[in-house]
Structure 1
Amino acid sequence: MSLTVLAVDDSRTMRDMIRMALLPAGFTVHVAEDGIDGLEVLDGIEPDAIITDINMPRMDGFGFIDAVRAQERRRGVPILVLTTESAPEMKSRARQAGATGWIVKPFDPTKLVKALQMVAG
């Protein structure tokens, strides 16, 4: 099964790590460097799932999740938050914004693939 994923993270290294984890598992991976870039990339694709960081310039993960959830056709797209943040109030805020799940960096590539297959498959 081929799934399309949008990964939004301001770290080039993290975007590369996500790509390296997902490509061998058969995913199509699109990347963006912040929330604004993410919304622009999203305009041209129909992702099965979205991965987003929280702390980014221009538009953070919370703003990005809000903007995605405001789009009628994107309401059901699973969004996984991939971040160094682990505070319960941050998780709660992400859930309220519409995030599907939460993965703390550094991530285990196998677990990331499994999480995406579970939420998007």
Structure 2
Amino acid sequence: MSGIVLSASVRQNLLSLQATADLLATTQNDLATGKKVNSALDNPTNFFTAQSLNNRASDIGNLLDGIGNGVQVLQAANTGITSLQSLIDSAKSIANQALQTTVGYSTKSNVSTTISGAS
């Protein structure tokens, strides 16, 4: 069985088309991923720099989540403290009312004593 015989110009055109197809595939991959360097084979320095920056961005994102959780805790604590202050103010108000009405209770007590002594 004999192989396919190509002239030099056809062979050159075929190799050129294959190289163009490879470049097109690489370009499509770059566009699809949004990355300039997709593997360490493309450019090791840029690849590992990008990988390091991605890891740092992830760490910063995790820290941001933690800060957000801390803010939520502080807001809940603030709400609790505000509620406690309101409760204390209500208790003070009730205590002040009780202090002001003790005269009325003492008068009632005197009236009760007077009534029971009259019988």
Higher relative contact order at CA 8 Å, sep ≥6: structure 1 or structure 2?
Answer: 1
Q: Which has the higher strand share?
A: 1
User: TM (normalized to structure 1)?
Assistant: 0.17
TM value normalised by structure 2: 0.17
Which has more radius of gyration?
A: 2
Comparing both structures, which one devotes a greater share of its residues to helix?
2
